[in-house]
Amino acid sequence: MDPEGAQLLSEVRRAYREHPGLRGKSALSLVGEVFGARDPVQGPGDDAAAVPDGDGFLLLAGEAIWPPFVERDPYGAGIAAVVANANDVAAMGGRPVALVDAVVAAPTHARRVLEGIRTGADLYRVPVVGGHFTAREGPAALSAFILGRARALLPATAVRPGQALLLACCLEGTLRPEIPAFTSVAERGSALPDDLELLPRLAEEGRVRAAKDVSMAGILGSLAMLLEPTGAGAVVLLDRIPVPPGVPLPIWLITFPTFGFLLAVDPGMAEEVRRPFQERGLACEAIGETDATGHLRVRSGDGEADLGTVRGVTGLRAGAIRRRTAGGRSP
């Protein structure tokens, strides 16, 4: 292996294992310990919980925005609350219906949060139909919750060995390394809701089997979370990952983008899935393949690094197993 490739693999491995946005996900085992192991599609466990309704599904999701982000940039945090929820619904193959929020902050701080939510809601064409506000001095808190609807789902439980892994993302934007996030709101603007429409369309056409939005866990961390429910593994080819100009790959891999989705696609379907994203000016590339190893591996040139098992990345299922072992009963 050449020295440059070896250094890249070392940096990627370190960034993955030390990334707070991923390490914090292991605390989700607490949810499994309390609620037990249920269907991860209907919750807890996927980007949005799916409730059968008529000829489709109601989708429910929620996001608590990272408190330091709310403190430093209340307006941006308000926009992010809408972005994260809209992405969660799209990642399950759905379209947003309505959003509610919960804000705890001093009135002047809360105003900026709410203005951000209004901007995001207008941008994504999602009505804000209610919420809760507690006026309080001290650290601010923001959560938002979304209702969506889907005709076909893209659950993580549909991941199987031998599928192609695609990354669809927007490379227009600005890196905010302090979060870290890559915001495309100003650059992509009113195109964003139509970008999201590609996900439910591909789900309904049966061209994508499973999806996950790239969250605060980053590209590789979100991929590990996509693989975890079925215990599948994957190999990712770092040279194939689309990267915004001027952004180092190790940083990009731990960044939360405004628009970024991981897609699991049956063999031979990758080109059909790539095309509609590229027609809209979005990047979409096949970056790897799922396998039966249960480990996430990355390759660069002729070198490879094993990032470890996907088991326990969130610990949702492990927490449920501990609950049963201790004599608890799943609801």
Residues 63 and 130 placed together within one structural domain of the fold: yes
Q: How far apart are CA 282 and CA 276, in angstroms?
A: 9
Strand partners, 316: none
User: Which tokens is 15 given?
Assistant: 């960034």
Q: How many domains does the chain have?
A: 2
Residue 54 lies in a domain: yes
Residues 87 and 106 placed together within one structural domain of the fold: yes
Angle, helix 74-91 to helix 107-124, in steps of 10 degrees? 40
pLDDT value at residue 16:
87
Q: What is the pLDDT of residues 283-323, one digit of tens each?
A: 999 999 999 999 999 999 989 999 999 988 787 765 443 44
Residues 104 and 72 placed together within one structural domain of the fold: yes
User: Which tokens is 107 given?
Assistant: 């009135």
Backbone angles phi, psi at 115, to 5 degrees: -65, -35
pLDDT value at residue 324:
40
Residues 162 and 299 placed together within one structural domain of the fold: yes
Residues 17 and 71 placed together within one structural domain of the fold: no
Residues 27 and 56 placed together within one structural domain of the fold: no
Q: Could you tell me the CATH number of the domain that includes residue 116?
A: 3.30.1330.10
For residue 259, the enclosing domain spans 3-34+155-323
Q: What is the pLDDT of residues 75-87, one digit of tens each?
A: 999 999 999 999 9
pLDDT at 330 over 80: no
Residue 184 lies in a domain: yes
pLDDT value at residue 37:
61
User: How far is CA 246 from each of CA 172, 243, 252, rounded to the nearest angstrom?
Assistant: 11, 8, 10
Residue 298 lies in a domain: yes
| Residue 170 per-residue DSSP state | -
Confidence of residue 2 (pLDDT cuts 50, 70, 90): confident
Q: What is the pLDDT of residues 230-276, one digit of tens each?
A: 999 999 999 999 999 999 999 999 999 999 999 999 989 999 999 99
Backbone angles phi, psi at 300, to 5 degrees: -140, 115
Residue 39 lies in a domain: no
Residue percentage of the chain with pLDDT more than 70: 88
Residues 202 and 309 placed together within one structural domain of the fold: yes
How would DSSP label each residue in 182-194? EE-HHHHGGGHHH
Last residue of a domain, one of 109, 126, 150: 150
Q: For the chain, what's the residue count? A: 331
Last residue of a domain, one of 111, 133, 150: 150
Q: Are 173 and 187 in contact (CB under 8 A)?
A: yes
Q: Could you tell me the CATH number of the domain that includes residue 16?
A: 3.90.650.10
CA angle 210, 214, 216 (to 5 degrees): 140
Neighbours of 39 (CB within 10 A): 13
Last residue of a domain, one of 150, 170, 189: 150
